[in-house]
Amino acid sequence: MLNNEKNIEKVIVNHPDAKNTIMKVLIGPKDGWEDHVLRTFELSEDGHSPKHIHDWPHINYVLEGNGVLFLNGKENEITKGSIAYVPSNELHQFRNTGKEPLKFICIVPKRGHTF
């Protein structure tokens, strides 16, 4: 499988507690990666994911922008190059604190792709 991100459909995250957030599924089970899903999220100015908790972990890598990851009960600054492991059952949220988009990779197990 070979593709380019510019060819992948943007999906607006329509959660009532999310704002200015889009997602792209880069690789997942339909592409041959049976156990996980590789996604990107882009949060525009004032954008944020919902503050949420779930029973699967995920791995994140910030591609561009500035923001905050609420994790371990506190707000942690994230910038281009930041890496985060979000364990299972940990309350978390991503929030853009800059004027430019906050864009990051998110890898979850297949059961964690709920959009």
Phi, psi of 70 (to 5 degrees): -80, 120
Longest Cα–Cα distance in the chain: 39
pLDDT tens, position by position, 17-56: 999 999 999 999 999 999 999 999 999 999 999 999 999 9
- Cβ proximity of 35 and 110 under 8 Å: yes
Average confidence score pLDDT of the chain: 95
* Domains recognised in the chain with CATH numbers: 10-88 (2.60.120.10)
> What is the C-alpha to C-alpha distance for residues 102 and 115, in angstroms, rounded to an integer?
19
